[in-house]
């Protein structure tokens, strides 16, 4: 089993380092790790934020563990040389079209949420966001009309096959979770959403054990803060998913806690090929100070164990170790505490060793 490790910039290397210590503590046989440059560090060393050798390394691996990219020193570079392009390039080149973002409240953190604690306590959901289509990738431009006024347009487009493949990912995920899937669209006004909805219903016939419901995105945004406990698995397009997943993350409380997985169609002999990363960025304001909370990256590693290695039990152990550390009061700066990245890594590793 080969893992490409791409720590990237800012706090990326600091949080990835701790996740690798957790991986080490699991003592799994037959693991080979490769490390590559990505982001601003890759631009400085190789003249490009996503060097060919990094891409080749990721392609040759069974999974990718990614830190974060971005550095203020690159803000004035041409768009294609900016660090952020590296992650977009990786997702596209690796065919990763399904972004999985779980959001679960942790015992002891209910009051960190923007929601009332008794409501925050209910959150245990997974957002499955389509990553390769929608308004981001449709025909777009800015033109000047005859009357001299500028107008911009972005075409929203989804084909049945694009919807079908993300729907399968979502139904399979829902089946493994609570057996309920909410498909979010805006079918009352958008034709794209009509195709989306029809296709999800069609795919749903293959999953009679999953209860499917449909919700308009405006209502979903409202329900997410009103009673998030009603959601189990949510599937939606790229644009709606972008917004709803950020919203869901703030319902949990801290950006330093939330993991993500990006999956495609490729299967390896161990599971699904995927890229795993925390949802936070490179946080240049705290980089190099040992202040970053590595829990989001450690939980991303748990997702890697689950989806790319078929090691559900180890994944659950890692997740329990993190949850129990939080319940014990281990707090990084993002949670108003003082624990350093290394101390948080140490706590998770010791906790892990006590869990069978
Ligand atoms: P990007 O554009 O790459 O998503 P961003 O500008 O949205 O980046 P982040 O890098 O995610 O922002 O950081 C947002 C804020 O959260 C910063 O103040 C940062 O210090 C803080 N932060 C982010 N991740 C962590 C972490 N793991 N631990 C502690 N604080 C964090
Ligand atoms: Mg951000």
- Please state, for a pLDDT cut of 90, what percent of the chain lies above it: 87
Cβ contact 322:278 at 8 Å: no
Q: Which ligand is nearest to the CA of 70?
A: 1
Which pLDDT tens digit goes with each residue over 262-305?
999 999 999 999 999 999 999 999 999 999 999 999 999 999 99
State the complex-level ipTM.
Answer: 0.94
> Burial, 172: exposed, middle or buried (Cβ in 10 Å; 0-12, 13-18, 19+)?
middle
Supply 83's token pair.
Answer: 């660090």
For position 249, what pLDDT does the model report? 84
Q: What's the average model confidence in pLDDT over 75-99?
A: 93
Whole-number pLDDT of residue 351: 97
Expressed in angstroms and rounded, the spacing between residue 203 Cα and the centre of ligand 2 is: 33
Q: Tell me: pLDDT of 93 over 80.
A: yes
Check residue 114 and give its pLDDT: 77
Of 280 and 253, more confident: 280
Is residue 123 classed exposed, middle or buried when 0-12, 13-18 and 19+ CB atoms within 10 A define those classes? buried
Kindly list the catalytic residues: 136, 186, 218, 242, 246
Q: pLDDT at residue 224 above 90?
A: yes
Residue 50 near residue 90 (C-beta atoms within 8 A): yes
Average pLDDT, the chain: 95
Q: How far is the CA of 199 from the centre of ligand 2 (A)?
A: 31
- Is residue 53 lining ligand 1, measured as CB closer than 6 Å? no
Number of helices (H) and strands (E), helices first, in the chain? 12, 12
Report, as an integer, the average pLDDT of 39-50: 97
Under 8 Å between Cβ of 299 and 322: yes
Contact 74, 81 (CB under 8 A): yes
Tell me which residue has its CA closest to atom 20 in ligand 1.
283
pLDDT at 255: 86
Domains, the chain, in order of start with CATH, read 1-100+258-356 (3.40.718.10), 110-253 (3.40.718.10)
Residue 124 neighbours by CB distance under 10 Å = 15
**Single pTM value for the model:** 0.92
User: Given this model, what pLDDT does residue 117 score?
Assistant: 85
pLDDT tens figures, 304-348: 999 999 999 999 999 999 999 999 999 999 898 999 999 999 999
What local confidence, expressed as pLDDT, does residue 25 receive?
Answer: 97
- Both structure tokens of 298: 């450690």
Mean pLDDT on 52-56: 98
């Amino acid at each position: 089993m080969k893992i490409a490790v791409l720590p990237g910039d800012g706090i990326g290397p600091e949080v990835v380092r701790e996740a690798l210590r957790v991986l080490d503590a699991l003592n799994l046989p037959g693991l080979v790790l490769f490390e590559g440059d990505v982001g601003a560090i890759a631009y400085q060393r190789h003249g490009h934020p996503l060097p060919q050798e990094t891409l080749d390394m990721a392609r040759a691996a069974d999974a990718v563990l990614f830190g974060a990219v971005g550095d203020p020193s690159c803000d004035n570079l041409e768009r294609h040389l900016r660090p952020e392009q590296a992650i977009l390039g990786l997702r596209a080149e690796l065919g990763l079209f399904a972004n999985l973002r779980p959001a679960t409240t942790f015992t002891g953190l209910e009051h960190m949420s923007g929601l009332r604690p008794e409501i925050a306590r209910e959150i245990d959901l997974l957002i499955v966001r389509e990553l390769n289509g929608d308004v981001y990738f449709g025909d777009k431009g800015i033109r000047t009309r005859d009357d001299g006024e500028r107008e911009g347009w972005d075409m929203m487009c989804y084909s049945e096959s694009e919807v079908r493949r993300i729907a399968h990912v979502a139904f399979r995920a829902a089946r493994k979770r609570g057996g309920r899937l909410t498909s979010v669209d805006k079918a009352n006004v958008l034709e794209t959403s009509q195709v989306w909805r029809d296709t999800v219903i069609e795919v749903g016939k293959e999953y009679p054990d999953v209860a499917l419901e449909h919700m308009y995105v405006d209502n979903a945004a409202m329900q997410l803060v009103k009673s998030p406990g009603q959601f189990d698995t949510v599937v939606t397009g790229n644009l709606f998913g972008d917004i709803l997943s950020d919203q869901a993350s703030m319902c949990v409380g801290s950006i330093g806690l939330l993991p993500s997985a990006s999956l495609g169609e490729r299967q390896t002999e161990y599971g699904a090929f995927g890229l795993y990363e925390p949802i936070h960025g490179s946080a240049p304001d705290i980089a190099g100070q040992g202040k970053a909370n590595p829990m989001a990256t450690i939980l991303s590693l748990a997702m890697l164990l689950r989806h790319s290695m078929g090691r559900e039990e180890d994944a659950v152990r890692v997740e329990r170790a993190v949850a129990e550390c939080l319940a014990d009061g281990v707090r990084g700066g993002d949670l108003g505490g003082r624990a350093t990245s290394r101390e948080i890594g140490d706590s998770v590793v010791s906790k892990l060793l006590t869990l069978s």
